[in-house]
Structure 1
């Protein structure tokens, strides 16, 4: 919608500016041409023809008894008349050429100004990491308030974990044990909004825990109770620190691990999966929800005409497309066809590019759920069956 508005304003500005300058252009053009006329020996005849309306004379048709107007003219007058016609024709063509060039110029000028405005908005007014701190959370949340966050979750047993990264940043997370003391663990990398205590994420934790999975969920720097500030580098390093904690502190083997990434977290999950595969220790399974090919691609979807400016000024890249073919993990991917933030086609492209074995590679979609809607029943059913099957491989 914003892109269409920019396009419309650019064209309206171009048309208005070009026609506002039209009269001045015409005066300038005609003035030059008339001065050229006066410099010729036939200038008086040409000017008389133009001023008296050559076009009107041309439209006058002779009757059967009347000779044609040009038949009554002498040779010099015919030449002068022809020059007058040519002069009028040149006035018309040159004037519209000038107006067309001006319209194009003002359109390009409007487009460039719109691009500058969009760039400033992207740089100043919009953050790629809209974190929610712990101070923004409440003692309790209504079940239908998806974006409310609370750390009081009596129905989700958890242990607070604090991981100190190399730069001193503290990453806060929850260890949520499975209901049946399973060794199979899932590392949960959440999206760009909210924090680990957001209400709509608690529903997912309950579902995954009931599948017999231990969960480790954590917040990126600047989110929730984690210190520091978010950037592409700090988010990726937090993911590495979380994975290292699960492997070392809980003694889990990579073959016992599932790695889930949702939205922005999908880039973290794909990056971790590629690194584990490079170390010859791939995950048991990789789960992607609403995944993008790159953060820049996802950020520019609402500006198809000005999307290039987003690619120039947008800081995070998080290019999953370049890594998905090097994960060597079983893959489960879900994407809604009506996702308003990440295009369905980007998820499809990731899935088709991945190198996951065909025997444990599954794609699930629907055409109802929006980006932040509760977990659809179709996804729950398919994921339950896929995890059960993948555990046995």
Structure 2
């Protein structure tokens, strides 16, 4: 039945909350914060201060192009937000939901490098319990966090939905797909996506159980924006089959780059990753 062992089936039916809790525990690993928001004299504006563990790769000039602030979610948490101005001619802004075990400080150099190379500005946020964001990580908070980020990007910067590209990486694909299933945007990029928590914990799972965590596979068919899926064939954390299944369910999926030999944490190091993103943003999205 569904390819599960007897022991796994017993676990499901005897204590159904356990798999979701296990998946959530595996998914949320917030690091010690690598940055701080330092308020000015008014207490209304903040500057970004990075620790050595953030491994900042640029100069003060680039750091001055990063604006940071806090916003409140509908679940009462205050989350850290970051707007990185990478290009004055950028047509699109990435709303970037990062992966696990990192925070905004560690991602800041990557955002500058990526945005500069594909001519996009980058807006990102830390999930509840990550970085200087308050609260605790949870599935419900993930959805509330990205909602707050989306509305901040729309209202604070006046960016219209058709100029926003939702970018999710690993666990970040969960809130990205949820938001994209409810709001139309310029495009969606899914970097190493997962079908659901149960399907990661129990690879032979063929259906979505009522207590499953992160059921992205059931939401992706509601995404009406163009979707680019990126996944490494040797992903040791989220199997390549997850990306393939997500791609096959997308109503408007574009041809994905199959990153041969890439694992879970090194897809960005492969040349085809950047080239495919450039083509997608500069050519495919601008075509009528």
Q: State yes or no: 1:179 paired with 2:87.
A: yes
Q: Which residue of 2 aligns with 1:159?
A: 67
SS of equivalent to 2:54: coil
Q: Which residue of 2 aligns with 1:34?
A: none
Q: Which has more radius of gyration? A: 1
Q: State yes or no: 1:350 paired with 2:250.
A: no
Equivalences, count: 259
Aligned CA distance change for structure 1 residues 167 and 271 (closer, same or farther; 3 Å): closer
Aligned CA distance change for structure 1 residues 135 and 212 (closer, same or farther; 3 Å): closer
Q: State yes or no: 1:197 paired with 2:105.
A: yes
Judge conservation of contact 1:139–1:152 (CA < 8 Å) in 2: no
> TM-score, normalised to structure 1's length?
0.59
Q: Which residue of 2 aligns with 1:382?
A: 276
Q: Unpaired segments of 5 or more residues in structure 2? A: 37-49
Q: Deviations over 1:31-65 (max 9, x none)?
A: xxxxxxxxxxxxxxxxxxxxxxxxxxxxxxxxxxx
| Counterpart Cα distance in 2 of 1:123 and 1:347 | 21
Judge conservation of contact 1:129–1:192 (CA < 8 Å) in 2: yes
Q: Which residue of 2 aligns with 1:330?
A: 226
Aligned CA distance change for structure 1 residues 126 and 257 (closer, same or farther; 3 Å): closer
SS of equivalent to 1:378: helix
Q: Which residue of 1 aligns with 2:33?
A: 134
Q: Which residue of 1 aligns with 2:44?
A: none
> TM-score, normalised to structure 2's length?
0.79
1:353 deviates by: 0.9
Judge conservation of contact 2:74–2:144 (CA < 8 Å) in 1: no
| Counterpart Cα distance in 1 of 2:99 and 2:152 | 20
SS of equivalent to 1:210: helix
Q: Which residue of 2 aligns with 1:370?
A: 263
| Counterpart Cα distance in 1 of 2:22 and 2:275 | 41
Q: Which residue of 2 aligns with 1:243?
A: 150
| Counterpart Cα distance in 1 of 2:34 and 2:226 | 38
| Counterpart Cα distance in 1 of 2:30 and 2:255 | 31
Q: Deviations over 1:83-136 (max 9, x none)?
A: xxxxxxxxxxxxxxxxxxxxxxxxx89x979x99xx69x659944311113169
CA RMSD, 1 decimal: 3.2
Q: Which residue of 2 aligns with 1:283?
A: 185
Alignment of 1:48-59 (within 5 A): none
| Counterpart Cα distance in 2 of 1:326 and 1:252 | 23
| Residue of 139, 144, 149 corresponding to 2:54 | 149
Q: Deviations over 1:62-87 (max 9, x none)?
A: xxxxxxxxxxxxxxxxxxxxxxxxxx
| Counterpart Cα distance in 2 of 1:135 and 1:180 | 28
Q: Which residue of 2 aligns with 1:391?
A: 286
1:374 deviates by: 5.3
Q: Deviations over 1:173-230 (max 9, x none)?
A: 210012224342110011222212226x733541223322111011000001111111
Judge conservation of contact 2:75–2:144 (CA < 8 Å) in 1: no
Q: Which residue of 1 aligns with 2:46?
A: none
Q: Which residue of 1 aligns with 2:134?
A: 227
Q: State yes or no: 1:300 paired with 2:197.
A: no
Aligned CA distance change for structure 1 residues 388 and 139 (closer, same or farther; 3 Å): same
Q: Which residue of 1 aligns with 2:45?
A: none
Judge conservation of contact 2:232–2:267 (CA < 8 Å) in 1: no
